[in-house]
Chains A and B, each alone.
Chain A
Amino acid sequence: MTSTDQKIRVLVAKPGLDGHDRGAKVIARALRDAGMEVIYTGIRQTPQMIAEAALQEDVDVVGLSILSGAHMELFPRVVAELQSREVDDVLLLCGGIIPEEDIPAVREMGFTGVFGPGSSTVDMIDFIRENLPDARREN
């Protein structure tokens, strides 16, 4: 990638109350090493804060990391907050602890990529590059 290519911008956020962000930091660093620009917002983000950051930073990808089990509560609210701001062309990913039986519902909400424990960062990087929305590649 040369410096004149469009940079992939990724928001990595932790919604809710759990304070364990080691996973999120590992992801942020791997994406940086893959040449992406990662906006890391820290822990304890509300759905409004996440959506507002995605809007202002004009990111291509929003990745949520959650370990608390509140994903079925928080994820739909993040999606709703994004929609209310007309941020409708970002690639949504999630990771952390998402039980197997919840994954179809999470995908249904719009999270194209679900990366649980043991996922490879290389797979995630490839996934982002392959699934970047076309609308985000214009100039």
Chain B
Amino acid sequence: MDARQLIDGIVAGNRRALARAITFVENDTATGRAVMAGLYPRTGHAQTIGITGSAGVGKSTLTSVLAREQRARGRTVGIVAVDPSSPFSQGAILGDRIRMQALTGDGGVFLRSMASRGSLGGLSETTTGVVDVLDAAGYDIVLLETVGAGQDEVEVATATQTTVLVTAPAAGDDVQAMKAGLMEIAQVMVVNKSDIAGADTTVAQLRALLSLASGRAWEPPIVQTVARGGDGVGDLVDAIDSHQQHLRDSEHAADERRALVRSQIVSLARSTLQREALVMAERAGVLDELAAEVAERTKDPRTAAEALLVAMRKVGS
């Protein structure tokens, strides 16, 4: 299937075409870029929602019940679930379907697992593109579940409209650690596993932290859930809907959208630049020598990096 056929298939609701197109976009191939260029004008319909938080707080289970609640409200749901790639083999085990089995038989749900492929920030470089493809395919809701992320993996905020930060009780230290970074990008806070001891303390801590940043146009609500039993998930959907309404009503909506896509453009350009720079660094042919000098402590790493850049600029010009 070429790009035209894929686009036509997606518009016609063909799930096979959608799955193929996502692969090409994920692999950033020529076909993938052509599909993206053709589909992008069709984006903008979906509510895009990022689900992030530390490993083990229940992101997958919460994503699963959140999708079910959205389905119960008559909305179709696309899900992108990102798991980490091995830094050694670059392979990955993507296990999110295990906790989302209940969704597999539902024609109104499309679930795609992605590996982070060495990218930092809890997403892969092409995740934003995959969210856009699901949006263009007509899903009402697109959920993006990140790799377990603790502190400053804030890329999810530039990939989706509403960021949901999931925490769990007895993670007080995590909450402290999240004072900066993730805490600042979340529009909805979830205290999952709220049936275990310490949930009230966690809620109180979050409330105290949020109160430090007063005067914002949107005050992030705190929602308590027990994802396993589905408790509080209705409240979570209501909170997300409120934020989406806030985005629509905001007089700065157009400015905020421009700021969001601006960071997407910069991010994509940066990753390409980084790859090209690494090729250039190899071509400059001084890296081995510099590494030897730093290893011998006759040169410091900062000076060596400057020397590398000087050599790269000569190669590049």
Contacts and interface: CB of A to CB of B under 8 A. Distances in A.
B91 A42 contact: no
Contacts of A120: none
Q: By CB atoms of chain A within 10 A, which of B31, B97, B115, B118 has the most? A: B97
Q: By CB atoms of chain A within 10 A, which of B23, B85, B95 has the most? A: B23
B14 to A, nearest CB: 9
A70 B95 CA distance: 25
A40 B27 contact: no
B277 to A, nearest CB: 15
Given A33-B89, A49-B105, A57 B19 contact: yes
A7 interface: yes
B16 interface: yes
A7 B15 contact: no
Interface in A47-88: 48-49, 52-53, 55-58, 85-87
A39 interface: yes
A139 B118 CA distance: 21
A131 interface: no
A119 interface: no
Contact of A40 (B15, B16, B93): B93
B72 to A, nearest CB: 20
Contact of A53 (B24, B31, B32, B97): B97
Given A56-B15, A58-B19, A32 B93 contact: yes
B117 A3 contact: yes
B115 A41 contact: no
B86 A52 contact: no
A138 B2 CA distance: 10
Given A32-B93, A34-B91, A39 B113 contact: yes
Q: How large is the interface on B (under 10, 10 to 19, 20 to 34, 35 or more residues)?
A: 35 or more
Contacts of B89: 32-35
A35 B91 contact: yes
A33 B94 contact: no
B19 A55 contact: yes
Interface string A85-108: 111000000000000000000000
B261 to A, nearest CB: 25
B16 A37 contact: no
Interface in B88-119: 88-95, 97-98, 101, 104-105, 110-113, 115, 117-118
Contacts of A7: 27, 90, 115, 117
B104 A40 contact: no
A57 B113 contact: yes
A3 B101 contact: no
Contacts of B92: 32, 37-38
A4 B91 CA distance: 13
A60 B311 CA distance: 42
B118 A3 contact: yes
Contact of A37 (B31, B32, B101, B115): B115
A21 B143 CA distance: 29
A37 B22 contact: no
Nearest to B109: A56
Contacts of A38: 91-94
Interface of B: 15-16, 19-20, 22-24, 27, 29-32, 85-86, 88-95, 97-98, 101, 104-105, 110-113, 115, 117-118, 275
Given A9-B23, A38-B94, A57-B113, 18 more contacts: A1-B90, A7-B115, A32-B89, A33-B89, A39-B94, A40-B93, A40-B98, A41-B101, A48-B105, A49-B104, A53-B104, A55-B16, A57-B112, A85-B16, A87-B16, A138-B31, A139-B30, A139-B32
Can you list the 8 inter-chain pairs with the closest CB atoms, starting with the nearest?
A: A139-B29, A32-B91, A58-B19, A42-B98, A35-B91, A49-B104, A58-B23, A37-B92
Interface of A: 1, 3-4, 6-7, 9, 28-29, 31-42, 48-49, 52-53, 55-58, 85-87, 138-139
